[in-house]
A and B are shown apart, each in its own frame.
Chain A
Amino acid sequence: MIEHKIAYELIEEFVFGTLSQEEHDQVEEHLDSGCEQCAVRYREVSELSAQLGQAVPQKSPASHVKENLLKQILGESEFDSKEVSSKTIWPWVSAVSIAASLLLLFWANSLRNELLQVRDELHQSQGQIARLIQDSSVQKDAAFLLGLPCSWLVDLKGVEPNKDAFAKVVLNPKIDFAVAYVYRMPPSPADREYQLWIELDGQPVSVGVFKVGQDGQALLKLQSISDPMSIQSFQVTIEPKGGLAKPSGMQYLTGMNAMPAMPSMH
């Protein structure tokens, strides 16, 4: 280790960055050893250095520098949280490219913590593309149902304290699936999902689980609706991720009155 006197003399150069690697490391080691006098000088010179630096004519770096940086740190934080499992991503991830899946992984993870602006900028657009791929196939199903002469719409209304939330379910007596549009729902917490139930013979039967993002919306296809006309009511509850066999959580939406989707044609 170098003596204090030598280290002290090298602090200006240490801060300005012009020392050889060897000397640089020696001064750093001396500072790390806790020498108070050198620490004070280091602080003085480095604060001045920051002021001198601000006098250099200012230019902004190209936008790709920020993009690359953020990509890199997002990649690193994903390595840090290995517990991101396939359950946290939307089931249709397999339908999109590997690159998009990776981005979606980040996206899903960001929803779990809080929706961060950074991730929005970088990944939301990719997330939305993947979501549109999914949505467009459900949209087709919805358009198909709505195009049939005997389809029905069920209004699901928000339950306190989420009165603003609502959903529309499109179903048809002759078709074994239905489509639900959900709006103005609170974003689902990371470890929970909404579950949609139909009531048959007084018993709740699960017809699907779904997440809601910051936009408060969801579009989902309800499979295996064997006899749509025997449905007595619909409800949406919040449940542990993946859903449960019976509703246990708070109710968010409820509805039972069906009306023809296209009255004029019915």
Chain B
Amino acid sequence: MNSGAESSQIAIQKDKRLFERIRQGDQRALAEIYDHRSSLVYSLAFSIVGNVDDSEEVTQEVFLRVWRKAKIFDPKRGSALAWIVTMTRRLAIDRTRSKSYKSQSRSVELFSQIDESVSSKHYSNPTDEMLLRLQTGEVTIALKNLNEKHLEVINLSYYQSMSHSEIAAHLESPLGTVKSRLREAVNHLRNSLNAKVRSND
């Protein structure tokens, strides 16, 4: 029994119902989806921008767009949550770029703000460090099951928000290698996470 997958399915259904109400202009539904998803949006933004002010602004902007664009949101393209997360990442990363953040130092700072006790220790391997900082759950289990190279590109691409070319430069690998490695990593993660959802059905 995988209660995590089950509760995430319930949460996705809740998003769906709330989106239907938002589409009809129900402001209470927006407040509800905010209550439901603002911690995720804020935390994700914080993990990218690394400061409270920008994270708050990104959070507000994301939900403002949910309100304004719910009418044109197409459920066939994916879940509301996926749309929200994609939007959050885009807005947060844009912000770091417009403020010319340095991608290398950024990740270290942002995590130190989340958890001082973890950052005060020294970890030689940045990927291990990433795993330690993530909330334990099915995602971290799936990540731990990846091979080292796949885990590395997921960390750099997703949790450090580096572009493919930045990763290529960082790893001193060809761009094509980075792309194919990331695609493989994404597929492996999808397989292990979806397998869990299916076994729960």
Report A's interface with B, CB cutoff 8 A. Answer: 9, 12-13, 15-20, 24, 31, 39, 42-62, 64-66, 68-70, 72-74, 76-77, 116-119, 121
Return the chain A residue nearest B56 by Cβ: A65
Interface size (B, Cβ < 8 Å)? 68
A45 to B135, Cβ gap below 8 A?
A: no
Known pairs A17-B89, A54-B40. 18 more at Cβ < 8 A? A12-B183, A15-B89, A17-B90, A42-B78, A46-B85, A47-B78, A48-B186, A48-B190, A50-B84, A53-B44, A59-B42, A60-B42, A61-B38, A61-B41, A62-B52, A66-B38, A74-B27, A76-B68
Q: How many contacts A-B (CB < 8 Å)?
A: 168
Roughly how many angstroms separate A50 CA and B194 CA in the complex, as a whole number?
13
Verify A61–B42 contact, CB threshold 8 A: yes
- Quote the shortest CB–CB distance from A13 to chain B (angstroms): 6
Chain B contacts with A in 84-136, Cβ cutoff 8 A:
84-86, 88-94, 114-115, 133-135
Q: Which of B28, B46, B154 has the most CB of A within 10 A?
A: B28
Interface residues in B35-62 by Cβ distance below 8 A to A read 38-44, 46-47, 52, 55-56, 59-60
Residue of B nearest to A115 (CB): B28
The secondary-structure label for the interface of chain B is: helix
0/1 interface trace, chain B 148-187, chain A, CB 8 Å (1 if under): 0000001001110111101000000000000100110010
Q: Decide if the interface of chain A is mainly helix, strand, loop or mixed.
A: helix
Minimum C-beta distance from A52 to chain B (A): 5
**Pairwise interchain contact B55-A16, C-beta atoms closer than 8 A:** no
Query: By CB atoms of chain B within 10 A, which of A9, A50, A65, A118 has the most?
Result: A50
6 A-B pairs with least C-beta separation: A17-B89, A46-B82, A55-B139, A17-B90, A61-B42, A18-B163
CB distance from B28 to the nearest CB of A (A): 5
- With CB as the reference atom, state the residue of chain A lying closest to B143: A55
Contact of B157 with A65 in the complex, beta carbons under 8 Å: no
Report the bound CA distance from A75 to B38 in whole Å.
21
- Is B64 a contact partner of A69 (Cβ separation < 8 A)? yes
B46 touches A18 (CB 8 A): no
B161 x A47 contact (CB < 8 A): no
Would you call B31 an interface residue if the criterion is a C-beta within 8 Å of the partner chain's C-beta atoms? yes
Taking the closest CB of chain B, its distance from the CB of A82, in whole angstroms, is: 15
CA distance A57 to B133 in the complex (A): 7
- Contact call B55/A39, Cβ cutoff below 8 A: no
| Interface pair B25/A77, CB less than 8 Å apart | yes
Question: Do A48 and B64 touch (CB < 8 A)?
Answer: no
- Whether, in the assembled complex, B198 has its beta carbon less than 8 Å from a beta carbon of chain A, the answer is no
Q: Do the beta carbons of B82 and A49 come within 8 Å of each other? A: yes
> Hey, which chain B residues are within 8 Å of A9, CB to CB?
179
CB neighbours (8 Å) of B60 from chain A are: 65, 68-69, 72
With both beta carbons as reference points, the residue of chain A lying nearest to B81 in the complex is identified as A50
B78 and A55 contacting across the interface, CB-CB below 8 Å:
no
| Chain A residues positioned under 8 Å from B19 (CB to CB) | none
How far, in whole Å, are A221 and B164 apart by their CA atoms in the complex? 72
Known contacts: A18-B157, A43-B77, A58-B135. The answer to whether A72 contacts B44 by CB under 8 A is: no
B18 within 8 A of A: no
Residues from chain A with a CB closer than 8 A to the CB of B157 are 12-13, 16, 18
Q: Is B73 an interface residue (CB 8 A)?
A: no
A-side contacts of B41, CB under 8 Å: 61
B27, B42, B135 pick with most chain A CB within 10 angstroms? B27
**Are B193 and A117 in contact, CB atoms less than 8 angstroms apart?**
no
A49 touches B86 (CB 8 A): yes
Contact A16 B31 (CB under 8 A): no
Please state if A118 and B163 are interface contacts (CB–CB under 8 Å).
no
- A18 touching B162 by the CB < 8 A rule? yes
Q: A12-B182, A54-B40, A61-B39 are in contact. Are A118 and B31 (CB under 8 A)?
A: yes
In contact, B93 and A118 (Cβ under 8 angstroms)? no
